[in-house]
Structure 1
């Protein structure tokens, strides 16, 4: 069989980093960024960095797959949709977690996927999966490739052929039930493409994770994703009402019912299963008519404690915002450092406001920036803004207006590019998120910040950790931490070791302080170490029994969700 060159139209991110070629973070028009980074982590961003290597410098191991299985895959999807070229295989071997980026830039490919297959429909998926199982090979579903928890990479010890199943050709909104407010959508559609198809018919799903531009519906379901507007539209677990998933020799079909009482929820079992219980091919999801108005308003609080108290009160008020987000003082300072230079009246107004707040007794190093989103008819938006405004004032906050909110709305998907930029100049940065009850929020925040700082001290590095509250619920909220530091070594293996010491300290603080190990990034391999502490030993045993019942030979994305030592 001949190797195909990559000629299909499925888009992919950079092989070495986030997003698309030609788009990158640049600090030159942000005068406060260099002094901020130099002060906080001791890195001078004006010193030339080390760009990623050219792909030709990467040594990619030869594929380990026989002609017989390749021929069966070609028969299943068409020879033009089977790729064994090095570039395609590398793109599909790693996700976009920090260890992924360090390894791929270093050319560390101990176990690359052997072949990439692009099915065009559900029958293709069934044929591919059945061929893989019959050959005792491994199948790893692939959406947009944005996963940051290690869910896409084959185990280094895996000796069987590894097939990456890219669902990018299955990217259509198939039908809309306008009476029920439901849409049937193929799993391989990227967020922007899906919303474009829905918007053309007057609808929206309202799901906007940070990875929106480069992630798919199937990926959201497989990792239990949350979006920036989940306060109104719900997490993907709330949005997904029915689905179809290909399993070995059969189809799992769940109809789009509003609610059921039919034993343990199979729908819930598939949500977050990361490809281990089958390949999601399509889903029925809740959709909503496009809102008449949409606004995001910025607010400023004098302290983190005041901001959290306001968020909790908003969550129990008569207002139903689409977005409730607030940054701690560290993230607020970072946000201000990434602003472009203000000129003329804008600069004067901001300085005048901050001077006024200082005269009123505000500590401007402790202020916390917040964004609240409103959607709906004019009367509803006006009423909700009035309710939230009173709550903000009651907790000592002030309204900054729609200008900063509009800027946040425009730039909300660009933050991941900063991580690539920092990696170029010798600093590592990544994220960890948790959820916990309102009563525990400050304790877990303080404990996690302390754990990260202790880890930095143990490594002898200057590190930074910041946080924002990203999703509010009746009983609690999600805290989203970002951490960064310059490793005390230039060796990539040691950089990952140091990264893990910080990451592990943060993750351990979550479980020790009564939070979950992941709110919306999934488990993969990065968080599997703590799964038993999160759901108990009996919970893991239940999960193992479920996975083993569906996939007794471990052909479906092995090594993910549960720790390696618990694999059967």
Structure 2
């Protein structure tokens, strides 16, 4: 798969536009005091970017070429910049101005596990730094080398390790190389009648190894589980050799080595292969849209769905601000759409639902026709009990089609000098109402302190037995009085601090990296941080594996 834009999200030939969405321009004007019809300011041309010369000596370069092959070792400036950072807002803001940071000195693309081992050995012998690279979608600062790092930096791109190796149909397990991108994984599995069922927002551009390294969750994790549930065994090339775990359903062999690898962000080694759960392709798949009267009742409805053990594949509900944004992104309605809209407005009035407070929900169903029908009836009863109604399959179909395009909106806003980002967390059901209220209040207070126009919205997703994920999206127009990233840090910091102050985690599925590391001790306690640090230092005493992520070496 081709690399993403060096300055933004996704493919060069794909961009977000407001022109076919008549409600979006006035919505953004009201919410952010930004006229998106005004010409944007594109990133600087790559030809003007000052890319430092690579610092890699001939001995190491020869060893890397011997391990991976001459054609798979690159010191090309553009290639190195693409691998320099992920896609965090901070990364994009800096890249767009030509500030590319501590660029890797060399990009290496191994073709098999033996090549990975050879590359790591060569790097350790040269006291170089190795940063594993999947698709480059990380938004937590997990890919950037420390600015003060003087050693040679090797970006180890796993993109050539992209094959489905084996399916154990009886056990419903598949052995897969870690560099496979989401679409190619599903394509290979579908050919045999299987699916992994893991569809994060970054699905198009992210890899299995990246999902494991950051403890990813997908849009259908209610049914299939997150990547920690999906992953049964791993192979990881470490400084001490290749770590191998067995794909058993459960084990009692001390602290879980598999769990240590999950979320390790390249600090323990390079993931080369995983054995994952797979499921038979469902006979039927549908996502329906529902409207609920307000956020408190929407939360209660989602909790009731989890308690009822209906087990849909998707349970998602947006608060009123996100619902209004979603409706603003609709394309121009047809005559039939207008008729349906009038009928919906009549139904809402009859139910006493205020259009300013209503919350849009998507619930997905998969399985046999009988199972899907039973699930739909059960969900319909619960939604009705909470004052809501089903609005059919059309909104769900649109969501299903556009769910992977959302990150392009951030580049569209950055072109217009507007910053937008996300923060997500999870907490028990009982804590969610207070958590939501306090995050919204603290973010809006941060906007007010800075004297900036901002907007924050939220949706609930990834429901569990005891709680759920809350996913906040925020945007603001910088004041011009300070550096935009300084104001971003104030808003982002207020949201993250509200998470840990209200009993939630610092991140549900975006990992720690460097962006969230300052809250780690508040989340897992000082002894927890000491334990993680001891693990990293014990496996990698020289600090050669992606240093500075999750916890800082002492």
TM-score range, shorter chain: over 0.9
Q: Distance in 2 between matches of 1:356 and 1:321?
A: 26
Find the partner of 1:179 among 170, 185, 195.
170
Secondary structure of 1:533's aligned partner: helix
Shift of 1:352: 2.9
Shift of 1:63: 1.1
Aligned to 1:520: 509
Q: Distance in 2 between matches of 1:45 and 1:490?
A: 22
Distance 1:146 1:110, change over 3 A: closer
Structure 1 position 539 matched with structure 2 position 519:
no
Shift of 1:360: 4.2
Q: Distance in 1 between matches of 2:502 and 2:525?
A: 15
Q: Distance in 2 between matches of 1:207 and 1:359?
A: 39
8 Å contact kept, 1:438–1:477: yes
Aligned to 1:6: none
Shift of 1:482: 0.3
Secondary structure of 1:385's aligned partner: helix
Structure 1 position 107 matched with structure 2 position 98:
yes
Shift of 1:351: 2.7
8 Å contact kept, 1:132–1:139: yes
8 Å contact kept, 2:351–2:387: no
Please show how residues 390-409 of structure 1 align to structure 2 within 5 Å: 390-409=381-400
8 Å contact kept, 1:358–1:364: no
Q: Distance in 2 between matches of 1:110 and 1:145?
A: 15
Over residues 365-415 of structure 1, what are the superposed CA-to-partner deviations in whole Å (9 max), with x where a residue is unaligned? 001000000000111111111111000000000000111111111111110
Secondary structure of 1:127's aligned partner: helix
Over residues 332-385 of structure 1, what are the superposed CA-to-partner deviations in whole Å (9 max), with x where a residue is unaligned? 000000000101021121133124413543211001000000000111111111
Over residues 77-106 of structure 1, what are the superposed CA-to-partner deviations in whole Å (9 max), with x where a residue is unaligned? 111100001000000001001000001111
Find the partner of 1:416 among 407, 418, 436.
407
Find the partner of 2:140 among 134, 149, 165.
149
Q: Distance in 1 between matches of 2:265 and 2:93?
A: 23
8 Å contact kept, 2:162–2:177: yes
Aligned to 2:357: 366
Find the partner of 2:29 among 26, 34, 38.
38
Structure 1 position 72 matched with structure 2 position 70:
no
Shift of 1:109: 2.6
Structure 1 position 122 matched with structure 2 position 113:
yes
Q: Distance in 1 between matches of 2:541 and 2:3?
A: 32
Please show how residues 123-522 of structure 1 align to structure 2 within 5 Å: 123-358=114-349, 360-489=351-480, 494-522=483-511
8 Å contact kept, 1:130–1:249: no
8 Å contact kept, 1:198–1:204: yes
Distance 1:169 1:203, change over 3 A: same
Shift of 1:501: 0.7
Aligned to 1:553: 542
> 458-467 or 357-366, which moves further after superposition?
357-366
Over residues 134-153 of structure 1, what are the superposed CA-to-partner deviations in whole Å (9 max), with x where a residue is unaligned? 11110000000000000000
Secondary structure of 2:422's aligned partner: strand
Secondary structure of 1:463's aligned partner: strand
8 Å contact kept, 1:224–1:235: yes
Secondary structure of 1:472's aligned partner: coil
8 Å contact kept, 1:149–1:525: yes
Normalised by the size of structure 2, how large is the TM-score? 0.99
Shift of 1:298: 0.5
The answer for unaligned runs of 5 or more in structure 2 is: none
Q: Distance in 1 between matches of 2:543 and 2:342?
A: 60
8 Å contact kept, 2:84–2:101: no
Q: Distance in 2 between matches of 1:263 and 1:94?
A: 36
Shift of 1:490: 8.5
8 Å contact kept, 1:16–1:104: yes
Q: Distance in 2 between matches of 1:265 and 1:403?
A: 44
Q: Distance in 2 between matches of 1:86 and 1:240?
A: 35
8 Å contact kept, 2:196–2:279: yes
8 Å contact kept, 1:93–1:153: yes
Q: Distance in 2 between matches of 1:425 and 1:133?
A: 44
Secondary structure of 1:357's aligned partner: helix
Secondary structure of 2:453's aligned partner: coil
8 Å contact kept, 1:126–1:249: no
8 Å contact kept, 2:85–2:144: yes
Q: Distance in 2 between matches of 1:318 and 1:151?
A: 36
Q: Distance in 2 between matches of 1:54 and 1:536?
A: 45
Secondary structure of 2:271's aligned partner: strand
Normalised by the size of structure 1, how large is the TM-score? 0.97
8 Å contact kept, 2:517–2:550: yes
8 Å contact kept, 1:209–1:227: yes
Shift of 1:318: 3.7
Aligned pair count? Answer: 554
Distance 1:372 1:360, change over 3 A: closer
Q: Distance in 2 between matches of 1:350 and 1:60?
A: 53
The answer for unaligned runs of 5 or more in structure 1 is: 1-9
Shift of 1:489: 2.1
